[in-house]
Structures are given as C-alpha cells and as structure tokens.
A and B are shown apart, each in its own frame.
Chain A
C-alpha cells in the first residue's frame, strides 16, 4: 500500500517533464535537480521553524521564479533546436546545479521530519505513514490544479495552443516566448513541490536527482505526452512495480529491474509497431 504512494512523487516530476516535452520539445534532464532544490527549500524552512506542509507552496513559488530565470538565461536557446541539444544542455545544467548544491549546502544527508504519525492495521503488519498519504494527496491535488489550469485558464489555453502548433499560435497573436517561459517555470514549480514532499517523506542530498529524472522519462514514455491521468497511473504503477521487484528479487536488483523494464517497454512497443512497419517517433 505504501509502495503505491511512492509512485505519486514520481508522477509529479513526470507531469512536469511531459508538459515541457510536449509544449517546448525539450527533454529536461535537470528535472531531478529541481526536485532536489525544492527539497532543500523545504528543509531550510523546516530548520527555520516552518512546517514542511507550508514548505510545499513556498518551494513551488521559489522554483517557479528559478525556472523562469533559467528559461530566460539558457533554455530559450534550445527550444527550437534539435531535441538532442536540449538533452545535453540540460545535462550540463544538472551537473552544474548538483555541484553548486554540494558546495553551498554540503553533502550531508538531510531530512525534514514533519512528525506525522503512522497508521497501523492488522496487528502492525500493515503500516501506512500519514506523510505518504499527504504526499499522495498533494500529488493528486497538484495534478488536478494543473489539469484545470490547462483546460480553463487563458494562459493554459495558450500553452495548449502552442503545443499543438507553435507557428500558428504565434500568428494568432500568442506570445510564445512567454508561454515557453511559463511552461518551464511551471515545470520547475511542480518539481519543487515534489521535492518538498521528498524532504518530508525520505531524505535529500545534492545527488538525489538522477533517479527522479530517469523515472520521469520512463513514465512519460509509457503514458505519452499530454495525458495527465495516464501519467499518474504510470507513476503509481512504476512505484509499485519497483518495490515489488525489490521485495522479490532483493534490493540489489531493484534499480536494474527498473532500467531493464524501460528497455523492455520500448522494445515491446517497437515490435508491436513493426507489424505494421511503423516505428516510434
């Protein structure tokens, strides 16, 4: 049960990645680093006496600003370039952010223990920590807000229009530069919120990003771009599958299983499409 909840945090990071990928055609490798920075925001607030739950929106706002600045400084240069260029550029950003975090915050493992209780069922055999339920709820909430925002708000509609056809959107008077900046900042904000949840639930350190980036990738590939519900389902499924693998195969093969699964999914889709001489693109 608690294993399912882990997937919710992955799903959050994956929402953001799907958004940026779909709208801007940029694969954001520093996704995990945004999670990490969100975690540190929540941690420092916690140290200053702020409850980690309050840290979630604060981390989101701070990361929104950070994402906006990052777009204006760097990302705008890769939007209309090849996808591969964006992968490398954001990889560069990711090692930059990791090392800066290492230098500024130190490499110590940190955690913001919010003091949530654990619920027990069946003579303690099943435990669900409240913090994971909160994380799950928050992931759902953020997902719902995102969906509403994209459907209803003016800016959300502009984002969707740009995703469909950037040139047409520009002709129709949409400031695509602003749309891109907002999209990227929004992604950073979502990851920031996820990071605050991570700091509350597990622990944070400067090098935690990679697993989140890779899992976001997998979820997006599984679920496709632009389908929030599928992203959530894939995220939860992955979280559960991973823990199940750790349980059955032993923890040493847990990550190997995840990566092998990624390759297997891609291969399966390739051979499925191959029947009609189609291919993934």
Chain B
C-alpha cells in the first residue's frame, strides 16, 4: 500500500468528485424560462411508453411556448423540461429525482412512466416538498400513502378493467343468467401496475359473486403465455382479463388466436399502444381494451382544441397516432401551466395548493383532484376492436358502437 501512483490516482478521483460538485446547479427559472424536470424511460423495458410520455410532454411544451407561454404574475415565461433516462428501473428513478431537485434545482416535477417508477420517485418529492404531476402512475396504492405533493391526471388502476367485469355481469343478466355463475380467469403481469388492477377486479368479481378460476402472475420477461392459456382452455371461463403492458397485450392477442382459446369476453390493457389491431389483424377482433382516453371523446381546451385536434397535431409532429399514455402526459403539463397561472408565483407551496384546487377541462378530459391527489373527474373508457377499428363501447354515455358478445373467433 501507499504507492505513489495509487496515491495520485486516488487524488485524481477525489478531485474529479470535487470538480463535478463544483458545476453550478441551474435554477428553477432561468431568465424567462420555467424549468420542469422529468425522469423518463428512454431505454429498458418501458421505453416504448417512456417515449410516448416524453413526446406528450414535449408536445405540450412546444404548444404552450408557441401560444405565448405561461403568465405568472405579470410576466410571461417559456417552458422547458430537463430529462434524464431512468432505464426503466426504480433504483435509477429515485436517484434521478433527487438529482433533478438537488443538482438541477428543479422545483416542479413531471412523472415518469409506470406505477413502479412513480412509487420510487414519490417518497423523494414528498421529502423535498416538491409538487409532482404525473400522468402515468395509475397504481391505487400510490394514493394510499397520504402523499401531499403527488397529483395524477389519470384514472387509477381499480377503474381499468372494472367496466369489463360490470359489462360481463350485465350481459349475463340481460341473457337471463345470474352473474354469480360466471367464471373469471385472470393473468396479470407481476408488477405494481398490473397487480393493482388485479386487486381492483378481484373486488368487483367478488361483489358480483363471480368465481375466479385462474389467477396467474406473468413474469415480466415471459415471452410466451402458453402455460397459462392451456389452463384457461381447460376451465372454460366466461371472462378473461389480461394486463401486462404492451408485451402482455401482444402475447394475449396472438396466442389466444393461435391456441384457439374460446372465451366469450376478453378484456386487456395497453392494446392501443401495442397496436394490436394494426399488427395482428383479425386475431384482435372483439377484444375489449381499457383506455384512459380516446380521440373521439368530446373534450376540449384552449391550448389544443378538441381531442381529435390534439390527435391530429400529435400525428403531424410524431408520425404516429397518440396512445393515451401521451395524452395524459400532455395533460400533466397543462395542469402545471394552469396552476402556475392561478398561483401567480413560483413558491412550491402556493403552486401545490393551486394544483390541489385544479378544476378544469382539457382535451384529455376533466381534471379535478381529490384529497389524495388522484383525478376523480374523468372516467375510463372501454374499446372493442371491431373490423380493425377501436370503437368505444362503454361507458354507455360515450359509446360509439354496440358491444358484440359473445366474441366470435377469427377465421
């Protein structure tokens, strides 16, 4: 020990730390620009939806700046977002949130993609009392921790497939059957988001007295769900529920067709971001899909106009049709814009209170937070794939097509 080069290398290392520490942290407001921060998944297993999230944020920022910016007090400001890549892992996300707050001096955070990552970041923002508006952490458990600085523009997990369970029960009643006779099969990915959906539907199924016959947790790296589907074929359920981000959606559609799993009603999540109707054609017919938002809905706001106009702008900018993950992210930025304008200040407490008092309509839907921070003003919709199109079939107020039941197998 104690050799000169070790010493000098160590000294160099120490120096590097100090130099890195010396880089000045940027402030929350640089000149006439308000800096928001976000850790999004640009790489790793969530990078498709992470990209949707980032595109949603960027579109909002571009639009707001184009239309003159945000008026806070008597001055108008431009918006800017600092991004880091959380690599789809919670460990990184938590560190990055801290880095955004401590090193970049960001005072307002936008959420990451997925409930797991939001779960990792929420304790950090809570500790620093930094408001975070997120559009992609739907897990109900996030809103049971009593977080004061966390706000979500989306409907929480228990609503995702609730409508499908109710729909199954009501169709059974209409056909003169007792909903309690229905058998339900479930296959949910083993991550916070899907497991919370599972908790939600289990409750609904219990309320109707339905029997859960298959209840599998799909490992995230599973590339084949044949084992689960074999079981499902054997027990012949009346309703099959699957959730596993885009991979789960693609697998479910492809393999149910391939293995000819005959279930009268199948409801899944993420089928629009997985583009199942576009890539898998007839195999996707009559699948029910939970969605936070649809371009055909009649919401509108001053920034983007109607939902359809938002969708067109998004397509023109990014060359793909906006999945709801992008829309809810855009809405998160609009919440900040609205709250900053009403607060008329950059004080985090005042902005937090202004966010809590939000009551607005956006192209994405109405936004009003309850005391836990989740949006209670916007319902989920349920699509059915009919002739390769996503048609809203529930709730009935928004429906643009009638539910086709039972599901017929594609030939």
Contacts and interface: CB of A to CB of B under 8 A. Distances in A.
**Direct chain A–B contact by Cβ atoms under 8 Å:** yes
Nearest to A248: B227
B48 interface: yes
B385 to A, nearest CB: 16
* Max count, chain A CB within 10 A of own CB: residue among B45, B51, B230: B230
Contact of A109 (B228, B274, B283): B274
A251 B216 contact: yes
Contacts of A25: none
Interface string B221-253: 111111110110110000000000011001100
Contacts of A110: 279
A111 B45 CA distance: 16
Contacts of B234: 125
A137 to B, nearest CB: 17
A91 B280 CA distance: 34
Contacts of B51: 106-107
Interface string B148-190: 0000000000000000000000000000000000000001001
Contacts of A28: none
B228 A208 contact: no
Contacts of A118: 258-260
Interface in A1-21: 2-3, 6
A111 B223 contact: no
Contact of A255 (B219, B226, B247, B275): B219
Closest 4 CB pairs of A and B: A246-B227, A252-B217, A107-B47, A251-B216
Interface of A: 2-3, 6, 99, 102, 106-111, 113, 118, 120, 124-125, 127, 129, 131, 198, 202-203, 205, 207-208, 210-211, 243-247, 250-252, 254-255
Interface of B: 43-48, 50-51, 187, 190, 215-219, 221-228, 230-231, 233-234, 246-247, 250-251, 254, 258-260, 262, 274-275, 279-281, 283
13 contacts: A3-B226, A99-B43, A102-B43, A102-B47, A107-B44, A107-B47, A107-B50, A109-B250, A211-B221, A250-B217, A251-B219, A251-B228, A255-B219
Given A99-B43, A113-B283, A124-B262, 20 more contacts: A6-B226, A106-B51, A107-B51, A108-B275, A109-B48, A111-B250, A113-B279, A125-B233, A203-B247, A207-B221, A208-B223, A246-B226, A247-B230, A247-B231, A250-B216, A251-B187, A252-B190, A252-B216, A252-B217, A254-B222
